[in-house]
Structure 1
């Protein structure tokens, strides 16, 4: 059934702030496919710069009019070279204005793009091209093409487009053109309009699976349009506002927010880790998306500057920060926005207001002497920073509130297009993932029985709304496992909701681990590799919302005991409970396990640096059915283990 979002009942229960945001999206309320945005935006914003890459050689600057023209020509060029409606086109490239032109050009031609980074492993890219059934391939440059060329003849690829202007290589079985050549072809041909609806498949985004093979998330035009429309209830950008882009542009989080910001006339500046600090100061962005690790790096940069000050200045800065932390916490209670005190009494609110008033002069002095200077590192014009891809550490949330840079935490998954929840500027409950965006339902259920749980009780988070994917491409079993017959999507996350419907996440029930840099890690293949070591009996990876992976390891005591007998006895001790005489904390034992982990992880196929296990703890109690840490089918109950060893894990990462 086709959904409409502009005037639908999905948007009925919204605040006045949200309603005002929607009014500016009226032009897009009746569109049926995402590419319809760009001709409308070109009329509204014509000569405003939409995309700028200051680090390209030469620098790339496109206006809305030029962007729309290039999208139309790219699409017409694809059609002229034989790409038909609903055919899949693999788009293998990283951030650039040409990526955006290709993405929307493919959709404008009526095709479906399957997207991934050009830095991904060759076997993963070949799997995506094959699994998607792509008949055309768009790659970043000749280097990317060369990585894949040898195996392309085994696949139904007929056309290759280089997004660079490098000379097209000769290939007897493939038609190969570069970016400029394709636009020239498109400029000589009229674009054939393709009828698309909200239910038409728009893109395939491949995400990790428990077997290690990616699953193709099917997102429709309706899924993406819902995000563009509804994000207008959260953010109110103005034409010409600057957005600094650093996340992978093919990733669903960066991608959908880009669609929204550009639909509102914003200018997107492309940056990277090398230039981000410089670009923050030079371009003074109003908006920026990031993962927790990015905000941590800004925080750490400020802390480094603090530490470089003379001792008396350091003491003064720390004093102001301490006072301001008390001030913001009092303000939260007074405003009813404290996660620790969700329903303060009138007396508690009054006391908090009095405390905040008393602390305000010192907080204001800290603002003048310290915080304003810190904000200069962000350019000083931030309206909102939007965080996703993992939970924000409390100290990061506190720091940005203290320096008066508004950080809005959001939540969602590739399968939900992605945004389902986000904190609002007028209801910014720190520590939460925010309230659901319009049209989104949240249900908390018991992870085992699937029975609904009351407000405030922790359980498995289920989601429903217009942004839920159509399913996993050519994988009905995985789709049925993820989405039940009533349309509820199993997020795999554990959490609870407040009486005001804010979602508070507490961990993950399913396997995937998300690091603070936004990388998704599937633990099973790594764990399986580690189990090849004779000294590892059981292992469970941890690291959700951490910088790197860690592990809880149950050692094979018999193998370890035999190994110990060949070593010096000075590190041996008696442990009567588990009948071992090996000191698990001794350096020589720790070195043994470090060596085993490094070898097995790095030798596994498809190894990536993020797969490295940085920290580990050896534990003597095995995971078992009897102690509740394994299911009847002998699968580790990860959330139970996490809860049992919470303090040990926190200590490991401290």
Structure 2
């Protein structure tokens, strides 16, 4: 498929339902590049607030008119300081309205930004600046600059912009300005509009580089405009709809959905992990983009509240949830949306419809007594939540469906701009990652021979469409390995396609654990079911080249303490030697705790659809330190960095199988 095709041709072969969804949205199919959107949006949405940061001091609120003007002034300032079309600028900063202004200001000036978090390691940032050929950098603040300063003299950097209002040092040999100074220069310089070709490079996004150096993913304006012009087949927002933003803005997933929602006049409110629960209640978002860990934390917060209720109320809640789970499963079969029963006969669907009707009154009672109150934790105004960046555990999907919050799971990679598939509001097939975006193709092939496989057969997922990257920057060998001569991109993911073209993912090819008996195990689905246990906070399977699986488990200490108290025991996680306690002390290594986790693992794993004996988790170890971004064990999108965890706990893992 040609990447030079027009945006309107992206939509030439869509369903009638998708065509209807697009009718009331702002149409940007005639726009060539992202910077052209913002003056048009300003003309249409004017005084609507585009970006709001309630956590800045003072609070920041920027209208669409102001946003377009600040982008233009940022770009004019860069041009006045010598930035030319095609120049590379490293944007090293985190979520804020100024990040968005800088990102689009750089593109408006005709330059290309290479983006990364200011929290990234120094060596990684220096590699990105050097590899991208940047001649200028835009950084979060003086702290970020100081991290890089001693090595900048070795790079061809002639300009540094601070996004903060801090006074820049005056003794620098490199030209150094803060945000306000750059805007002031822009006011005194005539902006020269830049007409970009659709195939021009727009941005470089560096992959995290789990092995070796990070690779610069080259995304063109055509790649990004595909996302902006086709995402209306999924979400249809109204001007002024509220969007809560928590994921890193430089990450392709958050970034392109931001571009789309802001192109339609939404108001984006910035939040963070510390404030998100309060912000959900206060700002009552209509949309939110998140990763599975975020939905899990909301779920865990609700479960914690349930556990704090009196015993009789807990029993009622559990009864209602159990009934509602049966109800939604019957409803799915009746609607032809049950992944485990895709070929249900007309009689089976009719029987399921009758069953759902019988279960509906109790589900409605649960809605009245429990679910409406739970929805208040999300603000109560959610139209859709978009989930990506990892597999969504089935019990989380089920829970949000029960309480009436629609999560649309999507799929893609940085190399695919990133969205290739996403569930639709009218076809929310739980357990799948949705149907392709317009003009997008998926093919399943044998991982070894690359021979195409039929529908419903699992294999390697190949992708093709206008959103596939141009390649890896200055890395033709890696590009040739990733994209074949026919334009198919090797995702590295395993999955299968339904007869209706829904993509169902089963794991990462490189995450596959191969046991000594030759059985291939995909860890993610097994880990997901284990997280149903209230006592398991995080889990990672291990067992490569072993006879059976093992697991590293971060326990939910609070839930364990409650369980221990119910047994008239005291849980000791600090190895305290104090003996003056009315109840017996136990620790994580005690037989009772180990037996509890054995029961939990056995139950959850064996109840999983498609369970095989090799899925059983044999040995396990409980570790108290959570996997987090801060300790390097999770990515910025809250996925476990398996290779880092394996290295960190190398001795413990070896001991498990000794």
TM-score, length of structure 1 as denominator length: 0.81
Q: Is the 8 A contact 1:78 1:182 kept in 2?
A: yes
Separation (CA, whole Å) in 1 of partners of 2:414 and 2:90: 18
Separation (CA, whole Å) in 2 of partners of 1:123 and 1:111: 24
User: For residue 181 of structure 2, what is the aligned residue in structure 1?
Assistant: 181
Matched, 1:283 2:283: yes
Q: Is the 8 A contact 1:554 1:621 kept in 2?
A: no
* Equivalence map 1:489-504=2 (5 Å): 489-504=489-504
User: For residue 552 of structure 1, what is the aligned residue in structure 2?
Assistant: 543
Provide, for residues 2-58 of structure 1, a one-character-per-residue CA deviation record: whole Å limited to 9, x for no partner. Answer: 6344431x3233223321333345541111111100000000000000000000011
User: For residue 549 of structure 2, what is the aligned residue in structure 1?
Assistant: none
Separation (CA, whole Å) in 2 of partners of 1:290 and 1:206: 20
1:548 deviates by 5.6
User: For residue 8 of structure 2, what is the aligned residue in structure 1?
Assistant: 7
Separation (CA, whole Å) in 2 of partners of 1:171 and 1:437: 52
Specify the SS of the correspondent of 2:134: coil
Specify the SS of the correspondent of 2:339: coil
Q: Is the 8 A contact 1:115 1:250 kept in 2?
A: yes
Q: CA 1:92–1:602 in structure 2 vs 1: closer, same or farther (change >3 Å)?
A: closer
Q: CA 1:12–1:141 in structure 2 vs 1: closer, same or farther (change >3 Å)?
A: same
1:509 deviates by 1.1
Q: CA 1:140–1:132 in structure 2 vs 1: closer, same or farther (change >3 Å)?
A: same
- Stretches of structure 2 that go unaligned for 5 or more consecutive residues are 514-520, 529-537, 547-617, 626-630, 634-638
Separation (CA, whole Å) in 1 of partners of 2:624 and 2:541: 12
Specify the SS of the correspondent of 2:322: helix
Q: Is the 8 A contact 1:554 1:618 kept in 2?
A: no
User: For residue 20 of structure 1, what is the aligned residue in structure 2?
Assistant: 20
- Stretches of structure 1 that go unaligned for 5 or more consecutive residues are 514-539, 556-584, 596-600, 623-654
1:508 deviates by 1.0
With 267-276 and 210-219 compared, the bigger mean Cα shift is at 210-219
User: For residue 81 of structure 2, what is the aligned residue in structure 1?
Assistant: 81
Provide, for residues 615-638 of structure 1, a one-character-per-residue CA deviation record: whole Å limited to 9, x for no partner. Answer: 76559999xxxxxxxxxxxxxxxx
Provide, for residues 599-648 of structure 1, a one-character-per-residue CA deviation record: whole Å limited to 9, x for no partner. Answer: xx999xxxx996334876559999xxxxxxxxxxxxxxxxxxxxxxxxxx
Separation (CA, whole Å) in 2 of partners of 1:215 and 1:386: 27
Provide, for residues 484-510 of structure 1, a one-character-per-residue CA deviation record: whole Å limited to 9, x for no partner. Answer: 000000000000000011000011113
Q: Is the 8 A contact 1:548 1:612 kept in 2?
A: no
Q: CA 1:511–1:154 in structure 2 vs 1: closer, same or farther (change >3 Å)?
A: farther
Separation (CA, whole Å) in 1 of partners of 2:97 and 2:460: 39
User: For residue 535 of structure 1, what is the aligned residue in structure 2?
Assistant: none
Provide, for residues 88-145 of structure 1, a one-character-per-residue CA deviation record: whole Å limited to 9, x for no partner. Answer: 0000000000000000000000000000000000000000000000000000000000
Provide, for residues 227-253 of structure 1, a one-character-per-residue CA deviation record: whole Å limited to 9, x for no partner. Answer: 001001110000000000000011000
User: For residue 296 of structure 2, what is the aligned residue in structure 1?
Assistant: 296
User: For residue 388 of structure 1, what is the aligned residue in structure 2?
Assistant: 388
TM-score, length of structure 2 as denominator length: 0.80
Q: CA 1:150–1:550 in structure 2 vs 1: closer, same or farther (change >3 Å)?
A: farther
Separation (CA, whole Å) in 2 of partners of 1:481 and 1:12: 31
Q: Is the 8 A contact 1:5 1:229 kept in 2?
A: no
Provide, for residues 568-620 of structure 1, a one-character-per-residue CA deviation record: whole Å limited to 9, x for no partner. Answer: xxxxxxxxxxxxxxxxx999xx79x999xxxxx999xxxx9963348765599
1:190 deviates by 1.4
Separation (CA, whole Å) in 2 of partners of 1:59 and 1:87: 33
User: For residue 38 of structure 1, what is the aligned residue in structure 2?
Assistant: 38
Q: Is the 8 A contact 2:507 2:524 kept in 1?
A: no
Separation (CA, whole Å) in 1 of partners of 2:512 and 2:85: 34
For the aligned residues, what is the CA RMSD? 2.7
Q: Aligned pair count?
A: 555
Separation (CA, whole Å) in 1 of partners of 2:65 and 2:632: 49
